[in-house]
């Protein structure tokens, strides 16, 4: 165990960035098995299962350091010393989240996010990285969750290969990638760039394993997986429908679709993750929204109930993220964000929103000091006339309780 802790301590030292920054990602990941499920939001094309559907939940529990349910095909590997050490460390790391922070977030959500959760619908979480943890804590009733970031989509873990070939390398690097979000509530791009680029272990090549980890650890059952793709008109199809003569020149947007259930709830929910540059123009070789109508069409086709923005590197403050900023303000009914999301001036100018403030505006951390909002600071002051509500947990870059903030913007039409 001592060696394991030393390993984590060394790998966690990095610069602080949000999950939306980073390097060019490989969007054309190796295809994986698919399962027949409900239609993919903007399309209705799927493919029949090639594997036992329970396999997805079995592998999610294995990489989450949890023992499989009775009959798990991966139970044979639970006696391996590497997995047991990993499970022991992961259980200790997760215990603080499960015992302390998650209950606070869930209780807060039940009180403050009743209406958006009652409606369910689609949750849009841009700049998310693989952060299913906060998405599910705040919006557990979302029928469809759409997450996007620069990080590669990744492929399904091959548990047999992992267990038989240096499992400690794969598992240690997986949990290392989670340290920042579990301890500080946000991902560090430098860590994700290294880990999800396959540099630490070529088998760990994107966000999918982390999403599966969070699903298992938050008591969700993974029912199915499908690799999907976007057509030119923004429809979602099974990835096998995309025909290209030269794979090296394939510019298709690929994504992962997961079907899952919460414990005690028979509702089947969908999650989509796409690797995409959400700027107006090209970034690090990845085309922007002005160059890719397929991605913009897909987003515009979504019927968005709620948008969530957290630890978003203040990108939506920048003029070259204007398309995404306008799209969110136009399409969403509810917007939950910290101060790194959309500047409050746009919400005020739009005259469309009723805003509730939570917590404390301590200003940006030093790395983002240029994005201080005097108007937002005034709104959080006791004499502002705004009724600022308490926030009983830390979140975002100012992750310590008492320094964090959230804002919930709701369309004024909801109150008419």
What's the pLDDT at 160?
96
Query: What pLDDT digit, counting tens, does each position of 159-181 carry?
Result: 999 999 999 999 988 888 777 66
- Which residue has better confidence, 239 or 45? 239
Over 90: is that where the pLDDT of 400 sits? Answer: no
Please report which confidence band the pLDDT of residue 142 belongs to, taking 50, 70 and 90 as the band edges: very high
What's the pLDDT at 38?
35
What's the pLDDT at 33?
38
Please report which confidence band the pLDDT of residue 401 belongs to, taking 50, 70 and 90 as the band edges: confident
Give the predicted TM-score (pTM) of the model.
Answer: 0.87
32 and 227 Cβ atoms separated by less than 8 Å = yes
Over 60: is that where the pLDDT of 109 sits? Answer: yes
What's the pLDDT at 7?
41
Instruction: Average the pLDDT over 242-253 and give the result.
Output: 89
Query: What pLDDT digit, counting tens, does each position of 220-236 carry?
Result: 999 999 999 999 999 99
Query: What pLDDT digit, counting tens, does each position of 342-364 carry?
Result: 999 999 888 899 999 999 999 99
72 and 61 Cβ atoms separated by less than 8 Å = yes
Query: What pLDDT digit, counting tens, does each position of 291-344 carry?
Result: 999 999 999 999 999 999 999 999 999 999 999 999 999 999 999 999 999 999
What's the pLDDT at 314?
96
Instruction: Average the pLDDT over 238-245 and give the result.
Output: 92
What's the pLDDT at 416?
66
Over 50: is that where the pLDDT of 12 sits? Answer: no
């Amino acid at each position: 165990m001592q060696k394991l802790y030393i390993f984590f301590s060394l790998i966690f030292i990095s610069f602080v960035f949000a999950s939306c920054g980073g390097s060019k990602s490989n969007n054309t990941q190796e295809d994986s098995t698919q399962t027949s499920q409900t239609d993919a939001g903007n399309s209705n094309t799927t493919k029949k299962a090639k594997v036992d559907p329970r396999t997805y939940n079995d592998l999610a529990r294995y990489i989450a350091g949890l023992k499989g349910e009775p009959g798990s095909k991966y139970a044979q590997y639970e006696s391996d010393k590497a997995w047991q050490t990993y499970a022991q460390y992961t259980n200790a790391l997760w215990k603080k989240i499960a015992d302390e922070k998650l209950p606070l977030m869930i209780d807060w959500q039940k009180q403050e996010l009743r209406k958006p959760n009652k409606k369910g619908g689609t949750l849009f979480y841009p700049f998310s990285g693989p952060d299913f943890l906060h998405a599910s804590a705040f919006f557990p009733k979302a029928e469809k969750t759409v997450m996007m970031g620069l990080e590669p989509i990744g492929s399904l873990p091959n548990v047999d290969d992992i267990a038989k070939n240096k499992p400690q390398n794969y598992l240690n690097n997986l949990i290392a990638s989670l340290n920042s979000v579990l301890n500080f509530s946000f991902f560090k791009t430098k860590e994700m760039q290294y880990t999800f680029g396959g540099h630490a272990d070529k088998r760990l090549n994107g966000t999918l394993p982390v999403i599966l980890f969070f699903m298992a650890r938050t008591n969700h059952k993974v029912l199915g997986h499908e690799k999907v793709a976007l057509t030119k008109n923004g429809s979602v199809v099974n990835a096998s429908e995309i025909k290209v003569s030269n794979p090296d020149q394939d510019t298709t947007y690929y994504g992962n679709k997961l079907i899952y259930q919460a414990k005690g709830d028979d509702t089947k929910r969908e999650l989509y993750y796409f690797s995409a540059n959400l700027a107006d123009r090209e970034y690090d070789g990845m085309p922007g929204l002005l160059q890719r109508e397929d991605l913009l069409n897909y987003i515009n086709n979504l019927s968005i109930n709620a948008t969530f923005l957290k630890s978003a590197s203040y990108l939506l403050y920048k003029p070259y993220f204007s398309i995404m900023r306008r799209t969110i303000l136009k399409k969403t009914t509810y917007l939950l964000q910290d101060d790194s999301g959309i500047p409050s001036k746009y919400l005020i100018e739009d005259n469309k929103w009723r805003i509730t403030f939570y917590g404390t505006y301590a200003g940006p951390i030093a790395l983002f000091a240029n994005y201080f909002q005097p108007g937002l600071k005034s709104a959080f002051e006791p004499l502002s006339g705004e009724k600022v509500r308490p926030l009983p947990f830390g979140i975002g870059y100012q992750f310590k309780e008492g320094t964090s903030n959230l804002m919930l913007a709701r369309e004024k039409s909801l109150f008419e």
